């Protein structure tokens, strides 16, 4: 079947087919990482819906909403190549009423780590994701592990609000040099890219250690090698369920997460590791 572009609720209703529906929410500027999400959805569902919407609620006043890449024609071609059934591409005015008052609160987990540096960001993320769930009515949705805190919060929202949707996390896709794929990578100069790979190198180095103190110290030492070209926001070793910092003696899965500005571009990355105290 031909790819359907839906602009509103009525279009989505008309496009709905019998069977399992998977949603892949995106802000566009699709790359190989997004392709991996679509492919995972394709395996699990009879119909795949990709949303493309640059959500103003998740950008702060000094962030890059106005210059965030918008490449809709290229994105449609990616969706065609990957066998997507429906692209949902609404306008902001169609999703957010001028007198909107109610939104989703991300709670305490939305105010730590990434949330501490981007106040209100996760409230905006959860609000748009819940709206997309209500509009598309998917059976499952696929998100990338690169946005680990976002993924954890979406899982929490689904559990806390009793939403009948399965949430799948897909592994981070990386460039050959280790840099995590991101729509923002296109902003990096050649020099910036050389600095940016320090993020993944630091995570790998930290993940090779054994105790929380060693992990943090080792990763931080690698980040310090980058010099003034890397402006670190945070390096955090956290419980993946709560994003609270883990202490010495912690046992089980943990996420080592980093965020930094390289040139004018802010990047995030993370790895999951297992801590087994002696």
Strand partners, 189: none
Was 169 annotated as part of a binding site?
no
Overall size of the chain counted in residues: 278
Give the Cα separation of 278 and 274 in Å (integer).
13
In this predicted structure, the answer to whether residue 278 has a pLDDT above a threshold of 80 is no
Of 6, 21, 34, 257, the catalytic one is 34
Q: In the predicted model, what is the mean pLDDT of residues 189-209? A: 96
Give the Cα separation of 85 and 239 in Å (integer).
37
Tell me the per-residue pLDDT of 72-90, one tens digit each, with 9 for 90 and over: 999 999 999 999 999 999 9
What is the 3-state composition of the chain as percent helix, strand, coil, each rounded to the nearest 5? 40, 20, 35
Was 150 annotated as part of a binding site?
yes
Cα torsion 112, 248, 178, 60 to 10°: value is 10
Q: Residue 252 — left, alpha, or beta (φ > 0 → left; ψ -120 to 50 → alpha)?
A: left
Q: In the predicted model, what is the mean pLDDT of residues 173-202? A: 96
| Residue 214: pLDDT band with limits 50, 70, 90 | very high
Was 32 annotated as part of a binding site?
yes
Was 3 annotated as part of a binding site?
no
In this predicted structure, the answer to whether residue 62 has a pLDDT above a threshold of 70 is yes
Distance of CA 133 to the CA centre of its chain: 16
Mean pLDDT (the chain, rounded): 96
Tell me the per-residue pLDDT of 131-142, one tens digit each, with 9 for 90 and over: 999 999 999 999
Containing 81, the helix (H) or strand (E) segment is helix 72-81
Residue 186, CA atoms < 13 Å, CB-side half-sphere: 9
Was 182 annotated as part of a binding site?
yes
Cα torsion 186, 143, 212, 205 to 10°: value is -40
Tell me the per-residue pLDDT of 157-180, one tens digit each, with 9 for 90 and over: 999 999 999 999 999 999 999 999
CB-count burial class (<10 Å; 0-12, 13-18, 19+) for 140: middle
CB 186, CB 207: distance < 8 Å:
no
**34 an active-site residue?**
yes
In this predicted structure, the answer to whether residue 152 has a pLDDT above a threshold of 90 is yes
Was 17 annotated as part of a binding site?
no
Was 60 annotated as part of a binding site?
no
Was 33 annotated as part of a binding site?
yes
Was 181 annotated as part of a binding site?
yes
| Residue 22: pLDDT band with limits 50, 70, 90 | very high
């Amino acid at each position: 079947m031909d790819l359907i572009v839906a602009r509103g609720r009525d279009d989505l209703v008309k496009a709905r087919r019998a069977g399992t529906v998977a949603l892949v929410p995106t802000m566009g500027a699709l790359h190989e990482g997004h392709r991996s999400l679509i492919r995972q959805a394709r395996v699990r569902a009879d119909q795949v819906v990709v949303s493309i919407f640059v959500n103003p609620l998740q950008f702060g006043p000094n962030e890059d909403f106005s210059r965030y890449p918008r490449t809709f024609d290229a994105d449609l071609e990616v969706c065609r190549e990957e066998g997507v059934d429906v692209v949902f591409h609404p306008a902001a005015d169609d999703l957010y009423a001028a007198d909107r008052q109610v939104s989703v609160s991300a709670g305490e987990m939305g105010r730590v780590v990434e949330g501490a540096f981007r106040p209100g960001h996760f409230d905006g993320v959860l609000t748009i994701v819940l709206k997309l769930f209500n509009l598309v009515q998917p059976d499952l949705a696929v998100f990338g592990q690169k946005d680990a805190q976002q993924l954890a919060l979406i899982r929490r929202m689904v559990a806390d609000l009793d939403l009948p949707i399965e949430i799948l996390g897909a592994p981070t896709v990386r460039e050959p040099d280790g840099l995590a794929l991101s729509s923002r990578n296109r902003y990096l100069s050649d020099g910036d890219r050389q600095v940016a790979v320090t993020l993944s190198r630091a995570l790998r180095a930290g993940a090779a250690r054994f105790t929380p103190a060693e992990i943090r110290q080792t990763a931080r030492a690698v980040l310090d090698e980058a010099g003034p070209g890397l402006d670190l926001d945070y390096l955090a070793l956290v419980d993946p369920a709560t994003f609270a910092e883990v202490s010495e003696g912690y046992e089980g899965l943990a996420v080592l997460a980093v965020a930094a500005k390289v040139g004018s571009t802010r990047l995030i990355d993370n790895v999951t590791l297992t801590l087994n105290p002696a």
